[in-house]
A and B are shown apart, each in its own frame.
Chain A
Amino acid sequence: MAILADRDARVIIQGITGREAASFTKDMLDYGTRVVAGCTPGKGGQQVHGVPVFDTVRQAVRDHPANASVISVPPALVKGAALEALDNGIKLLVIITERIPRKDVVEVLELARETGARVIGPNTLGLICPERVKLGMAGGPVEDVRKSYIPGPVGVASRSGGMTTEIANLLTTAGIGQTTCISIGGDSMVGCNFLELIPLFEADPETKAVVLFCEPGGVIEEHLAAWYRDNEVKLPIVAFLAGRFVDSMPGVRFGHAATIVEGDRGSARSKREQFIEAGIKVADKFSDIVPLIKEALDGEG
């Protein structure tokens, strides 16, 4: 088992005729993901890498039943696309597009809660369950994905898309494989953050430990620490906190929309302290992730 998606995922791509979407559609197909249909209003009848394109999600899923959608459309159109997918019974949305207004994100998430769907992103590169399925752009072309990702017992969740692959690569170099690797999205509000994902990893019998890539800004790490401590969670977590130097530069935004320290809120220092207090292991150097994960896996027996 993996979390969120597995080999049996049947995926549609909304915005499939876009340049970027067409390119990751090919990469997904090459990796063995079942991309069953695409949707671009006004372009029904076309094909993209052999995938049939429909004008509406309704037509697409009537002919090609699907349970997941990868959305890559311009920011102003994302809300509409996501609501269309939810309205047609899709239970997993991966929203690649960045710079979506928060109000639109909240409206989508409200409906997703009602329909029992999960949303990854926005501003995500997607997710990979090695050798099973790949949703979105993560890892790039199939030959590159195979170099960085191998199957195994470690889950990965990252606030940075690029670092999702980097962490998988670090683990793979050390001979440690992964269950599911998720780029959660770089925005301050995303559909599935660490708080939602850790219980899924905990419930997955194959996942024996998790690596988190964290950044300054926001309060999600602080909430995770409190939750981990209060619920006496057994699943070992190794967290890496990038951007310690950002603490000394409050008000400056780095890299991702959410990476900003406001006053003393969201500093790397406070996140680190609360993780340690809660029993979450913190890798002070990036390379330290490997020995800490090995230790966690050995502890599992």
Chain B
Amino acid sequence: MRLLEFEAKAILGRHGITLPPSETLNSPGPISLDFPVMLKVQIPLGGRGKAGGVLRADDQAQADEIVVHMLNTSIRGYTPTSILAEGLADIEKEYFLAVTYDTVAKLPLVIFASEGGVDVEELASERPEKVHKRHFSARWGLLAHQARELISQAGISGKLLLGLAGVVTTLAEVFLRYDCTIVEINPLVLTKSGGLVALDCHADIEDDALFRQKEFAELENQAGRFVSEKAQSEFERKAAEIDNLDHRGVAGRVIEFDGDLGLIIGGGGASLTAFDAVQQHGGKPANYCEIGGNPSVKKVAELTKHILSKPGVSKISVITNVVSNTRVDLIARGVIKGVLALGLDPARTIAVFRVPGAWEEEGFKILKKYGVPYSERGVSIDEAAAIAVGRAAA
């Protein structure tokens, strides 16, 4: 779950990191800060500045105009419902600071760069001497001396070293305490008067930790934090409804494509394999999907009907890995039931059925009865895809 900038900053403020004077706006109207101010759209995306989502207003009239425009403008699929107004910082120097997980070393990692407001990956490849990193223990947290060592590596000493090390330590605490997967202050600004101010902040809370991060779980359920146009298509929404018919297994994580060959594929890795294989053999998938975990006959039947009801789709291919906890006979029953419900002939409509594994003898018996061409485990996912594409073209 990506926090909006003002939500992330509220956490930093709670732990004593200095923020610019600010106000969150939901509509045009008087701003109590001294002008000029920066106005920033609150959407869960990076790169807002380049997309015109961060603008300066020199007076109230200009601010109103910008706020109205921002609240009515979509940036890469997101429209804000709030705008963050902030006083301008008196910038002496900018730094980059982030904490994340290093998935190779399997440890938390703090990254500090003596240049801020930049793309840190770019900086790391072009001027690696500017980027300093330090792993730390998730059990101990980042120790005070480790933070000082990191800042000192960057050639910083004296009062500034202590100030920066303090911010680094706090950010590492925030990272662990709130189950973040990343928290980044970019830029962290040294002001002309010697203060350290977090000018922008990006924080992601791990979805799988929301069960113990109640504050954010509630926030996520709050309506109207922003408007997303990345809505599912009607076809995908209906498929998700089918998946929710009961709690048995998965049959409905569907993404729509514009081809004509309907796919019932699964599980995770096998869906990727089967989809690639269909494309490699020249087929045009109508959809991606994932089934697994032994879905009910009803769900599979409804999903089959749904995919076959899509305009232009006349054939469906059923391809999975060798299953162990999903029953072949239940998948076979479900697909055939769905096809029959549409008044179609399973033998002609099912281009290929390649689901070997648990209860396969029972499954094959049913398929045979309806004359459905099925493949046993000796036919690979890739060969099954070739058969499907061939029969779909015929």
Which residues of A line the B interface, CB within 8 A? 75-76, 99-103, 105-107, 109-111, 137-141, 144, 147-148, 158-163, 165-166, 169-170, 173, 186, 188-189, 191, 193, 195, 213, 215, 218-220, 223, 240, 242-246, 252, 254-257, 259, 284-287
> In the complex, are the beta carbons of A285 and B382 less than 8 A apart?
yes
CB–CB A244/B139 < 8 A:
no
Besides the known contacts A165-B324, A284-B280, 13 further A-B residue pairs in the complex with CB atoms under 8 A apart: A105-B106, A106-B108, A144-B357, A147-B322, A160-B270, A162-B323, A169-B356, A169-B377, A188-B103, A254-B271, A255-B267, A259-B272, A285-B277
Residues of A within 8 A of B377 (CB): 147-148, 169, 173
B22: interface (CB < 8 Å): no
Q: Of the listed stretches B11-19, B193-201, B207-215, B339-347, name the one at the interface; the rest are far from the partner chain.
A: B207-215
Binary interface profile of B, 353-394, with partner A (CB < 8 Å = 1, else 0)? 000111000000000000000000110111100000000000
Decide if A223 touches B268 in the complex (CB within 8 Å). no
A140 with B357: in contact, given A99-B208, A148-B322, A244-B276 (CB under 8 Å)? Answer: yes
B358 and A103 form a contact (CB under 8 A): no
CA distance A107 to B140 in the complex (A): 10
Residues of B within 8 A of A (CB): 101, 103-104, 106-108, 137-139, 176, 179, 181, 206, 208-209, 211-212, 255, 266-273, 275-277, 279-280, 288, 290, 292, 320-325, 356-358, 377-378, 380-383
Are B382 and A286 interface neighbours, CB within 8 A? yes
Q: Is the CB of B106 within 8 A of A189?
A: yes
Contact partner, B269, options A163, A173, A223, A257, Cβ 8 Å: A163
How far does the Cβ of B117 sit from chain A's closest Cβ, in whole Å? 18
CB-based contact A163/B276 at 8 Å: no
A170 shortest CB reach to chain B, Å: 6
Instruction: Please list 7 pairs of residues, one from A and one from B, whose beta carbons are closer than 8 Å in the complex, sorted by A's number.
Output: A105-B106, A141-B324, A161-B269, A165-B357, A186-B268, A243-B272, A259-B268
- Is the CB–CB distance between A76 and B108 below 8 Å? no
Residues on B with beta carbons closer than 8 Å to the beta carbon of A219: 103-104
Minimal Cβ-Cβ distance residue in B for A183 = B269
Would you call B380 and A287 a contact (CB within 8 A)? yes
Given contacts A140-B357, A189-B106, contact A286 B275 (CB under 8 A): no
Determine the chain B residues whose CB is within 8 A of the CB of A257 once the complex forms: 208
- Indicate whether A102 sits within 8 Å of B272 (C-beta atoms), given known contacts A109-B106, A148-B322, A170-B380: no
Partner of A101 from the list B206, B271, B276, B320 (CB cut-off 8 Å) is: B206
Whether the pair A162, B383 counts as a contact (CB closer than 8 A) is no
In the bound assembly, the distance between CA atoms of A191 and B279 in angstroms comes to 34
Report the separation of the CA atoms of residues A215 and B179 in the bound assembly, to the nearest whole angstrom: 26
A243 to B137, CA, bound (A): 34
